Structure formats: C-alpha cells, structure tokens
Structure 1
Amino acid sequence: MTSSSASASEVYRKVIRNAVCATALEQGFSSCDALALETLTEVLQATLIEICHSAKAYAELGGRTEASGADVCLAIVDSGIRMEGLKEFIRRPRKVTLSAPMAQPRVSTPRTLQTGERKNLPNYIPDHFPPFPDSHAYVHTSTHRQPVTEYVAIREKLASQKRDIERALTRFVAKTSGTHTLFPDNPQLYPLIACKPHPQPWMIALCPKDQIFEDEDDDEKEEILPEREGVPDNPYLRPVKMPRRRY
C-alpha cells in the first residue's frame, strides 16, 4: 500500500467515525467508549464495502462501468437491509450534519541540493532519459594513503618507534627484574633498573658493541673462543706481533 492510498483510507475512516458519532448523538448518547466506537466504525465500514462491491457487480452485469441507484438498491437488499423507513430516516428533522472533510495540505517534496553543473545529454540519447547527475557525484576520495617516501619523515618515524620500543622494554625489565628506587618511602615511584655487577667493567668500555651486529658478534665469539683460549678479541689487548724480517 502506497502512502497516498494509506492517507485516503485514513480520511475515509475518519468520515465514517464522524458519522457513527453523529448517529450516537441523535440517539441521546453523550459519551462513548473508544473500543465501542472503533467496533461500530468497523461494522459500518464493512457494510459499506460489501454494498459497494455488490453494486459494482450489478453494474458490470448490466454492461455499465458506473453503478446506478437501482444497482445500489439491489445491493442493499442483497446484504439483508430492509428498505422500509429508509426515506424517512434520510429526511428526519433533527439530524446532525457533518461538515465536508478539509483537504490536507500537500506535502512538498524537498528539492535536491545541486552542488555542480549537470551535463547535457548527447545527441544519440533520447530526451525522455533522465539527465546526468551533478558533477559532485563523480568526485571520489581514496580510501588509502600514499606511503611516505621523504627521508626526514622516515627518520623521525623510525626515531619515534625506537624511543617507544626502548621505553616499553625499560618498563618491562623494571617490572620483571630487580630495581633501585630514589625514594625509600615509595619504591614504586621512579624505579631504576638494577645494574648487574661485572668482574671487569673496564672491559665493556674497551669492547663496544653495535646494536645491529650484537647477535652476530656473540655467534662468532662462541665459535672463536674455544679455538683461541686466552687470547682477547680486542686488538688493543692482544700481544704485539712482530713483523717478519726480510733479508
């Protein structure tokens, strides 16, 4: 059911409800229950629909497209309603007249916002086809970003990632190993990673290690130390090797 047919059925239903209320007022009722009013409205609407369908059938049987008064009378008789007293009921003196239903204001369709210029249809497209949409309809936005290739931006991002990794590892080591504190009252405030004692601390200063090749140096050390026991890997600590004399 479309919106127009639904609104029309609501208008007809409201007119039938007003007719039921007018008839109740003529009979001396001053108030009515909502359920009783809806029941009487439904009964009256069903009766009118049945009479209309029967009148239409009689008109089509007679080869007509519109029902006449005789068709309506035959439909009323078929529905079981007695025709005696119907004329007096129509001409009763104290009947309540109903005002004509007011026309509902037409809802205007909002205009589509136009943001650009529409192109005209080419000559090979008929005029009854819809026009092209606005130029804004063809605007697209990419869903991904182009990779950054600038050297400065890459170095800044790499340095930021390195700082984050070092900070995260420092917090992990501080929580999983021994720590020192600057404030004895509150050991959780500014914890420091405990330093591990080394038998030869000066050796670390003389043998610096690069972070990139640290693992490779350890693997090479494991292979070299068993073969050359007692010989340090640092060239500054090795014994002097005299060159061969040539005669």
Structure 2
Amino acid sequence: MAETATAVNGSGSSGTRSCGRGSSTPSDNYFLARRRTLQVVVSSLLTEAGFESAEKAAVETLTEMLQSYLTEIGRSAKSFCEHTARTQPTLPDVVVTLIEMGFNVDTLPAYAKRSQRMVITAPPVTNHPVVPKALSAGQNRPHPAHIPSHLPEFPDPHTYIKTPTCREPVGDYQVLREKAASQRRDVERALTRFMAKTGETQSLFKDDTSIFPLIAARPLSIPYLNALLPSELELQQVEETDSSEQDDQTDTENLSMHLHADDPGEEKENSSVLQHSSLKGGEDTMIDNPYLRPVKKPKLRRKK
C-alpha cells in the first residue's frame, strides 16, 4: 500500500513539474507549490481509505474538489469576520462556516485522533530574499503627537529641506585681484610648458634634460630689424591719433560752415579758438605715458 501511495505521489509530482517548467513568476510558483501539497494530501487520504492505485485524472479531480472546498471555507470565514467589523478571522468564524456548509463539527476531534492517519511533513521553508534598503540621507523625523503611528513615516530630509547647491559670487576686490593673478599665472605656465614640449628646449643640467626645461632662443638673421620696425603699441597710437585728427578736422569744418551761415563777423575768433584747441590736442597726443594724458571728453556732434 505504501508503494502504491509512493507511485501515486510520484505521478502527481511529475505532472506538476512538467507544468511548472515554463513558470517563472512568484505567483505561479506559489500556485504550483500549493497544488503539489494538495496532491500529496489527496494521495495520503486515498492510501488511508484502502486504495492501492489511482488514475491521474481521478487524483486531479479530487485535488480540485479539495481546493474548492478549502477556498469556500476561507471565503465564508472572511465574510463572517468582516460582518463583525474585524480584519483577522478566528476559530469561531471557521466553526460557523463549517456548520453553514453542513459539516458535523463534533466529529473533528475523533477524526484528528484516528490511529491510521498519515503524518505529512511540512514543506521546507524558504528564506525570503532580502530587499536592499534604499540609500538614506539624514535622520527621518518622528511622527508628531497628532499623527497616528500606523501612517507612513516621513521621507528623507533631503526631499523637503532646501539645500543650497551654489555659492554666492565673491565681490571682494582683493580676492578678485588674487584670483585674476593666479589665473594669469596658470595661463602663462601652461603656455610655457606647451611651447617647451612642442619646440626646442635647453636644460640647465646636462645629466637630466627633463628638469627645468628652458625655451631655446632662436637667433634672427637680421637682429636690428625689430628695432627698426614699429611695435604694435606704436601702431595703435598712430591709428588713434589719425582717427582723432580726422574727427577734429570734420568737426572744425562743420562748425566753420555753421558759424559762417549764422554770423560772419565772429568767424575769425572761432577759427583762432579752433586752431588753438587743435594745437593743444596735438601736444597732448605727443605724451607717451598714458597715465599723464588728460581725460578726453565726449565730442558733441551737431546736426547739419
């Protein structure tokens, strides 16, 4: 009889294995495990009843009936529990459900103490996968007195506390000058290193040429040519002088024409004043030091 029960159990488990090969979700795995446990229970009940063998279709039918019976007991017990404004079913709810379904509750103690019963080992308990905790920043605030404890906790402080992400611009004159000087120094150092790596260099030490490289001086074919050619500063000064003289000349012509049309008697006086101012402006442009030059006032253009 035990061999027959083993054969029946083996046939049921093989069927569930074939059905569970394609399942991968947790809900499907739970359904297959529950179905397999019910099949083992049905096989044990058949063995206790004296059956030596059973067809697979019969075992499946009895398993479906047992599953429907247990599902109905659970549903009715939950209904009685909710009817009394509770959330967890208790033993009286199950007893009332069995009585409503027509089951004789008094026979349960004798059936539980039967001598030929078969003890089914509990399925192995699998440890639930540990869910990694999310990264938390700071310490969460506890609930105030007016908020119930069953409500969710406060989120991390960084989700509702203002966090400055930028600094205020520095406006100190000394700090700005030091920053500009350090940037200029870094640019010069980077440019010097670039020229030293890309061009010819000279070293202070003969043993190691990579220490303190110096930019090699390139002798010119005509050394005195730079002394004869004007520098960029002189060319800029000449251009500014030419443009200022041209503007003064244009203003003088426009003013003389305007005075000639208004009052021909004051033409000589105004022309002498303009000549004096032009000579004075020419003397000012001869000063080489830019810090000693007088302040140039904006020129007023008169409409013709």
- Quickly name the TM-score band, shorter chain normalised: 0.3 to 0.5
Q: Which has the larger radius of gyration?
A: 2
Q: Which has the higher contact order (CA 8 A, sep 6+)?
A: 1
TM-score after normalising by structure 1 = 0.39
Structure number having the greater helix percentage? 2
TM-score after normalising by structure 2 = 0.34
